[in-house]
Amino acid sequence: MKKVLIVDDSLSVARQLERIISESGDLVCVGHAKNGAEAIKMNHSENPDIICMDMNMPGMDGLTALRTLSVMDKDVKVVMVTSLGGVGDKFTEALKLGAKNVISKPFEAENVLRILREL
């Protein structure tokens, strides 16, 4: 089972993603970080295979955390889950910083699962 860490300041988004992951059968959620700094700590403690991370969070935002994670951990695969996915510059910046994909909100469960399973 691939281990997934969710990083989002929104409780409701974390709930949605946790449900999608727990019902998948082949993915397991190992935790929920509420900002980029927590994500970096939990990446160390939980050692996830995949991180699903929001871009727009108070404290350390998603792109800053992605920049740090790309240097600190070459193995973890980061997917950005964001309402800003349709902003071309943000999408491009995320890919250049090492994100494997970007999922736009509002998202559909099957789309999320397809992208996570492809990693």
Partner 1 sequence: MAIKFFGQFLVERNIVTRDALLKAIEMQERTNLKLGEMAVSVGYITQSDIELAHNAQMSKDMKLGDLLVEMGLLTLNQLNDVITRQKNTHLYIGEALVQVGALTTEGLQQYLQEFKADQSQYVSEGIELPGGIANSRIWEMAADLTYKMITRVLDLQFRPGKGELVTTIDSNFMLAAMDLAGDMDARYLISVSEGLQKSIAKAILREESVDSEPAEVLEDTVMEFVNVVCGNISAKASQMGVILNINPPVTIRPPAAGLPVPTGHMAICFPIHIGDDEKMQLILLIKN
Residues near partner 1, by CB under 8 A: 9-13, 15-16, 19, 56-58, 82-89, 91-92, 95-96, 100-108, 111, 115, 118
The pairing of strands 27-33 and 2-7 is: parallel
Of the two residues 72 and 87, which places its CB atom closer to partner 1 in the complex? 87
DSSP per-residue letters across 10-69: -HHHHHHHHHHHHTTSSEEEEEEESSHHHHHHHHHHH--SEEEE-SS-SSS-HHHHHHHH
Smallest gap from Cβ 16 to partner 1, in A, equals 7
Smallest gap from Cβ 82 to partner 1, in A, equals 7
Smallest gap from Cβ 43 to partner 1, in A, equals 21
The separation between the first and the last C-alpha atoms of the chain, rounded to the nearest angstrom, is: 13
Of the two residues 64 and 83, which places its CB atom closer to partner 1 in the complex? 83
Of the two residues 46 and 61, which places its CB atom closer to partner 1 in the complex? 61
SS3 of residue 5 by DSSP: strand
DSSP 8-state assignment for residue 4: E
Smallest gap from Cβ 10 to partner 1, in A, equals 5
Of the two residues 44 and 113, which places its CB atom closer to partner 1 in the complex? 113
